[in-house]
Amino acid sequence: MDNLDAARLQMAFTLMFHIVFACIGMVMPFFMVVSHFKWLKTRNPIYLTLTKAWQKGVAIFFVTGAVSGTALSFELGLLWPGFMKHAGPIIGMPFSLEGAAFFVEALAIGFYLYGWNKINEKFHWLTGVIVGVSGVASGILVVSANSWMNAPSGFDYINGQYVNIDPVKALLNDAWFSQALHMTLAAFAATGFAVAGIHAWQVYRKHNPAVHAKAFHIAIIFGGIAALLQPLSGDIAAKDVAKRQPVKLAAMEAHYETEKGAPLYIGGIVDEKNKTVSHKIEITKGLSFLSFGDFDAEVKGLNDFPKDELPPVAIPHYAFQVMVGMGGIMALAALFYFISVRKRKWWENSKFWLLFAILAPTGYIALEAGWVVTEVGRQPWIIHKVMRTKDAVTPMPGMIYSFWFYVLLYTILTLTVIWLMRRQIKVLNQKVD
Amino acid sequence: MLYVVLVFLVLSFFLYVLLGGADFGAGIIELFSSKDNQKPIKKTVYEVMGPVWEANHIWIIIMIVILWIGFPATYNVVVVYLHIPLTLVLLGITLRGAAFIFRHYDAIKGGSQKLYDRLFRISCLITPIFLGMTFGALVTGDIVLIEDNPNAGFYEVYVHPWLQVFPILIGCFYATLCSFLASVFLIGEASDDEKRMYMRKARVAILAVIAFGFLVLITGFAEGRDFVTDFVANPFADAAVLLSAILLYPLFRAIRFGRVKRCRFFGGLQVSLILFAAAITHFPHVIETTSGKLNFMDGLAPQSVMNVLAISLIIGGLLIIPGFLHLLKSFHMIKMLEDKE
């Protein structure tokens, strides 16, 4: 493997982990403060137990997210010095604001974790809300830096020089809104389903169903609403990509020929050599409609883009199918849940709980797949149409060893976190028994 | 606006060295304590650091972000040539953070605690050593720029600058500074019996700081490092070090009489003076290479970027500093209330 691919793999790998930690750290505080609010209102001790159990989860994920985020702030420069040298000043603003938001979050979490019975009750609760809000703000700002790579703006690129830099314009680039909306909803949907799934499993196993059912409902309401809204934001994002990065759209749809009234392919096996897609389901004129809102619009195919500007096709296409498939399942499951609120008898059926337990990983699979679509689909560019990824990578050879080093480190960390979470749940069950 | 950015950069550098250093030092003290003492230290460390420890370590991120936004040329040299020691620093920070949270948030306190403790203490020792080595590598004058030496080998370019006696000694020196800071900060938080122990630790740490400081100077002289010869030739640097040495007397008195605030003030001031001495000697030529010294103020980001950066830092500062002080104050008051109970 060459240095560039090793560096790309390492970046993908560390981001994959950070995204999970960061999203849980971003969304779980909201579950925690809802449970906390219910405790303050009803004084039902179940909610206090639940809040305290979740707060430990928040603390663990916040720190692992913070640590893996620190790692990324190093890696951006260590792996992509060519990128950071030019892009650093331009997209510095979202990162510096993100630093501030993160700092606020760290302070709020300090108050929240250590403030029980020590500071004013309402203020204490409010610090929990601040944890969540500043976490979401951090997420949105980081996504804005990423969207700038898709829609570079706020500078002029003249003779290889980056001039007339306007950091505010760079922050509010064209892809900012659609990406931030899509990602925020994804974080809520994925975390909602994951947390709900874990608690549903406990209900299914009949471990303290009273506590775990309450936990399930809080999480699934957040996750379900986000999952229902997500297709709408996906539509906004797809139309945006069609306009700004038509080659990425063509890759994720595995669309080779330019045509009017282009069909939408569902599934299919991509043959990159012969530029064909076999075993697919075709929906007539579907792609034209979804991309441009017009059944007869022309969609440019991969064959009509310059050869040296084509991204890989199979990976974004498969990842896109996985993302949409998982998203669809989650939206249906959310609908199912909201109907079940009317028909509470369903909750007595253990299969109801098993279903949601099985669905626990769907959101995170969709979320990771979505990032694969947008990142692989942007190749060979690190900054769309401005800088190629191969020109940004570090000149230091031997990145493959660095990659394996990170794989080892992150695997150990993940296994430890999973193990800690299991112990958390075990103790929660014992407490209520 | 450039000066606003510089003030924040220097401020976050000092705060990281002082506060982050005290955090590392707490783990180092634990590592070098007897089994009986480790338990109370662990408890105090948690009580003191718990609420603020994450905040302490954000300063390094702020430093990095300011560097990459405002000083891209300098940042680029650092990340390309010091890739390996920075990765090792990162490893240390990661393991340390993880071990800290694991040992305090594991729902079952069992045999695994031993592993977390060991991991925490060892990473507390190695991280500042690698940090010091990274800084040392910048000033050894052995960094080989590839554009000037296209035929230089891997070892020469990516390993040799940091893997030498001089930078390693600087690393050890910083680790001793950390343990000094931690013992001085912790004196105020401990109960009476523990206090005496921290006082002993503080004295040992001071001796270690002096010993390694001398070793750095002697080695630097023997190897003819510009960093050391310039340092000695600079009257401001000499005055700062001398003042720092003189302050040992009031510090020892403050330690003996258990004056908490004075201890911290003098301890922090002494380390700041040493940092100041190192900074004044070399600014703006922070990086020394075989092709000459690089000027920190070359290759700055354009004015428009500096302005926005300065404004964001001011806004961030206004938002964060009151919160930070309030956090420290609230928990200090809580501690006092608990002591009365």
Residue B339 located in a structural domain? no
Question: Are the beta carbons of B93 and A70 separated by less than 8 Å?
Answer: yes
Q: Supply the pLDDT for residue A432.
A: 60
Question: Are the beta carbons of A106 and B98 separated by less than 8 Å?
Answer: no
Question: Are the beta carbons of B146 and A111 separated by less than 8 Å?
Answer: no
Q: Supply the pLDDT for residue A7.
A: 92
pLDDT beneath 70: ranges in chain A = 431-433
Residue B336 located in a structural domain? no
Q: Supply the pLDDT for residue B50.
A: 59
Specify the DSSP class assigned to residue B301: P
Q: Which residue of B has its CA nearest to A114?
A: B51
Q: How many domains does chain A have?
A: 1
Share of chain A above pLDDT 70, in %: 99
Residue B38 distance to chain A (closest CA, Å) = 23
Q: Supply the pLDDT for residue B280.
A: 83
Chain A CB contacts of B65 below 8 Å: 73, 92, 95-96, 99
pTM of this structure = 0.86
* Count of pairs with CB atoms under 8 A, one residue in A, one in B: 197
Residue A87 distance to chain B (closest CA, Å) = 8
Chain B CB contacts of A396 below 8 Å: 80, 83, 157-158
Question: Are the beta carbons of A81 and B76 separated by less than 8 Å?
Answer: yes
Range of weakest confidence among A11-25, A119-133, B5-19, B188-202 = B188-202
Q: Supply the pLDDT for residue B55.
A: 62
Question: Are the beta carbons of A63 and B101 separated by less than 8 Å?
Answer: yes
| Sign of the alpha-carbon torsion through A294, A298, A303, A309 | negative
Q: CB distance from B233 to chain A under 8 Å? A: no
Q: Supply the pLDDT for residue B49.
A: 65
Q: Supply the pLDDT for residue B340.
A: 42
For residue A271, the cross-strand partners are: A276
Cα–Cα distance for residue pair A377/A247, rounded to 1 Å:
8
pLDDT-derived band at B329, boundaries 50, 70, 90: low
Query: Who among B65, B73, B83 is closest to A95 (CB)?
Result: B65
Question: Are the beta carbons of A77 and B79 separated by less than 8 Å?
Answer: yes
ipTM of the complex: 0.82
Q: Which region holds residue A156: left if phi is over 0, alpha if psi is between -120 and 50, else beta?
A: beta
Q: Supply the pLDDT for residue B336.
A: 47
pLDDT-derived band at B332, boundaries 50, 70, 90: low
Residue B50 distance to chain A (closest CA, Å) = 8
Residue B294 located in a structural domain? yes
Q: Which residue of A has its CA nearest to B299?
A: A85
Question: Are the beta carbons of B108 and A104 separated by less than 8 Å?
Answer: no
Cα–Cα distance for residue pair B233/B211, rounded to 1 Å:
21
Cα–Cα distance for residue pair B314/A91, rounded to 1 Å:
18
Query: Who among B72, B106, B305 is closest to A85 (CB)?
Result: B72
Host domain of residue A357: 3-429
Q: How many domains does chain B have?
A: 1
Query: Who among B72, B90, B105 is closest to A89 (CB)?
Result: B72
Mean per-residue pLDDT for B94-104?
81
CA dihedral A317, A321, A323, A325 (to 10 degrees): 180
Q: What single string gives the DSSP state of each residue in A40-90?
A: HHH--HHHHHHHHHHHHHHHHHHHHHHHHHHHHHHHHHHH-HHHHHHHHHH
Q: Supply the pLDDT for residue A166.
A: 84
Q: CB distance from B285 to chain A under 8 Å? A: no
More confident call, A112 vs B197: A112
Residue B341 located in a structural domain? no
Structure tokens at A12: 């993908």
Structure tokens at B97: 């953070």
Residue A191's nearest CA partner among A57, A385, A283 is: A57
Q: Which residue of A has its CA nearest to B5?
A: A96
Cα–Cα distance for residue pair A32/A28, rounded to 1 Å:
6
Q: Supply the pLDDT for residue A17.
A: 86
Query: What is the number of other CB atoms lying within 10 angstroms of the CB of residue A210?
Result: 10
Specify the DSSP class assigned to residue A161: E
Q: What is the pLDDT of residues A151-168, one digit of tens each?
A: 998 888 888 788 888 888
> Considering all CA atoms of chain B, what is the largest pairwise distance in Å, rounded to the nearest integer?
70
Question: Are the beta carbons of A396 and B158 separated by less than 8 Å?
Answer: yes
Q: Which of B2, B88, B102 to mutate to test the interface with A (most CBs of A within 10 A)?
A: B102
- CA-only gyration radius of chain A, Å: 23
Q: Supply the pLDDT for residue B328.
A: 64
Residue B289 located in a structural domain? yes
Share of chain B above pLDDT 70, in %: 90
Q: CB distance from B320 to chain A under 8 Å? A: yes
Q: Supply the pLDDT for residue A186.
A: 95
Host domain of residue B191: 2-330
Residue A100's nearest CA partner among B71, B4, B322, B100 is: B322
Q: What is the pLDDT of residues B218-273, one digit of tens each?
A: 998 888 888 888 888 888 888 998 998 898 888 888 877 777 778 888 888 888 89
Q: Supply the pLDDT for residue A200.
A: 92
Q: CB distance from B269 to chain A under 8 Å? A: no
Cα–Cα distance for residue pair A91/A192, rounded to 1 Å:
31
Residue B299 distance to chain A (closest CA, Å) = 10
Structure tokens at A302: 């991969």
Residue B246 located in a structural domain? yes
Query: Mean pLDDT score of chain B, rounded to an integer?
Result: 82
- Specify the DSSP element, H or E, that contains B72: helix B72-81
Query: Who among B68, B80, B105 is closest to A56 (CB)?
Result: B105
